[in-house]
Amino acid sequence: MPEEFEGDLTEAVFWGADLRGAHFRDVDLTGATITHAALVDVTIDATIDRLVVNGVDVTAFVNERDPWHPLRTLVTPVDAAGMRTSWAALEAEWANTVARAAALPEARLHEPVDDQWSFVQTVRHLVFGTDKWFTVPIADGDFHPIGLPNSGSADFPWPGLDSGLDPSAAEALAVYADRAATVRDHLATIDDTDLDRVVEILENGPHPIRQCVGTVFEETFWHIRYARRDLATLPAAD
């Protein structure tokens, strides 16, 4: 198995390191410098804010051609007002995603794509992620039984989950709509002084509300993208 690195590597120096085929996920590369390197067949999917390649600032070129810009820049708001704006934008994009799903037969929405989750499973995971990082620790709610953890967390004793459930697309979407409304309603009343309050996250320990909300936004953004990618590959009929 390849070695995995987690934690704080701020200002680390990689000298003469062989990083061929390496994967960087959920990393912060702000201020990173790469020199004397070979970047061949490299894929970057990230928020771009001043990217200089071989002395050329390519930021505007990239962002103008990025179909997810500027939404991806809204995923990390710094204050409560920005969170309200960001969530409204994410909800609008989710509504577009649901509209695309509605054009497909129910069976297609339960169909995995390339060994990934089906659309319904993606919705169930969004329910779970929202419950873990928002509904339970911030809104004092409970985990919904249909929530679907990621594989690495499946063995954790999550309270109230029922792995035997197989909800329809409409049922899963209704639960997620309720969770999204909870986020919207809570953000409507939150202020900046609330954001540094620390809450306990099952499996992950104490985190400030600011980080919890950011995690919900990141999860929502990426799973909208996953859902749209997969829906585009599903035929409307047999």
Q: What is the pLDDT of residues 137-169, one digit of tens each?
A: 999 999 999 999 999 899 999 999 999 999 999
User: Would 106 be classed as within a structural domain?
Assistant: yes
User: Would 236 be classed as within a structural domain?
Assistant: no
Read off the pLDDT of residues 48-69 as tens digits, 9 standing for 90 and up.
999 999 999 999 999 999 999 9
Pairing of strands 198-201, 56-57: unpaired
Angstrom CA distances, 189 to 83, 182, 221, stand at 11, 11, 23
**Does residue 176 contact residue 95 with C-beta atoms inside 8 Å?**
no
Q: What number is the average pLDDT over the span 3-28?
A: 88
215 pLDDT band (50/70/90 cuts)?
very high
Predicted pLDDT at 77? 92
pTM: 0.90
58 with 86, same domain: the answer is no
- pLDDT over threshold 80, residue 182: yes
Angstrom CA distances, 193 to 86, 100, 190, 198, 208, stand at 18, 39, 8, 12, 11
Cα–Cα distance, 54 to 211 (Å, whole number): 34
How many independent structural domains does the chain possess? 2
Q: What angle do CA 83, 146, 150 make, to 5 degrees?
A: 70
**Does residue 68 contact residue 225 with C-beta atoms inside 8 Å?**
yes
79 with 137, same domain: the answer is yes
Domain hosting residue 55, numbered range:
1-67
- Residue ending a domain, among 67, 91, 111, is 67
How many helices (H) and strands (E) the chain has is answered by: 6, 4
Q: Which residues pair with 199 in a beta bridge?
A: 207
Predicted pLDDT at 143? 98
61 with 98, same domain: the answer is no
